[in-house]
Each structure stands twice: as C-alpha cells, then as structure tokens.
Amino acid sequence: MFEIQVETGGLVKLSGRLDAAQADRAKKTLDTVRESATLDLTDLDYVSSAGLGVIVNMFKRLRDSGHGLKLTNLKPRIRSVFVYAGLDRVLSLE
C-alpha cells in the first residue's frame, strides 16, 4: 500500500511502501511539483532504491530550475536507507 498526496505550499505526504512496483506512480505525481517542496515522510514505512531514484530525480529537476527539496520526519529505518545509499550527503534530511 502506497499513498502520495500533494498539498498546498509545496508539501507532499508519502505513506506506506515506496517500492519498485510503486515508483512510476510516485514519479508521475512528483513530476507535477514545479516549485520548492517538502516531502513529509512521517508515514513512509519502506523505501527501496527505486523510491530513492524517484526522489533524486525530483531533487535534480527542482535544483536545475532554481528550487529546493527538503525531506522531513524520516523514521530511523528510512533515514538509514538514505545513509547507506550516500544520499544524506546530497539531500536535505530534517
């Protein structure tokens, strides 16, 4: 089960399991975000490299158009996946 919700003010809430089977759906929604954004990961239970790839793609797209991306409220196990991938050195994890 994976859910993604775009709210006002550039806030995007992700919940459930962002795996390879859900990555395309996540990308389609995230591609609609055109300005600086915050991903609220409070209810994200699982992420794999496919999900990381979608988020990195969003980060690069926003950066290249002069905007920023922040990730907030990561569970420890979600944060550790970003760290293992070396993405904590690239992305803003709060």
Partner 1 sequence: MVERRFPRRLGSLGPMARFVAEYVDSRGFDPEHSYTVDLLIEELFTNMLKHGKGGGPEVSLKLGGEREELILTLRDFDVESFDPTSAPPSPPPIEEGGLGLRLVQRISDSIRYEYVDRSSIITLTKRFPL
3-state SS, one letter per residue, for 26-67: HHHHHCCCCCCEEEEEEEEEEECHHHHHHHHHHHHHHHHCCC
Chain residues that interact with partner 1, rule: CB under 8 A: 17, 19-21, 45-46, 48-50, 52-53, 56, 59-60, 77, 81, 84-87, 89-90
Give the Cα separation of 49 and 85 in Å (integer).
8
Q: How far is the CB of 36 from partner 1 (least distance, A)?
A: 18
Looking at beta carbons only, is 11 or 48 nearer to partner 1? 48
Looking at beta carbons only, is 36 or 49 nearer to partner 1? 49
Looking at beta carbons only, is 13 or 46 nearer to partner 1? 46
Pairing of strands 11-18, 2-6: antiparallel
Q: How far is the CB of 2 from partner 1 (least distance, A)?
A: 10
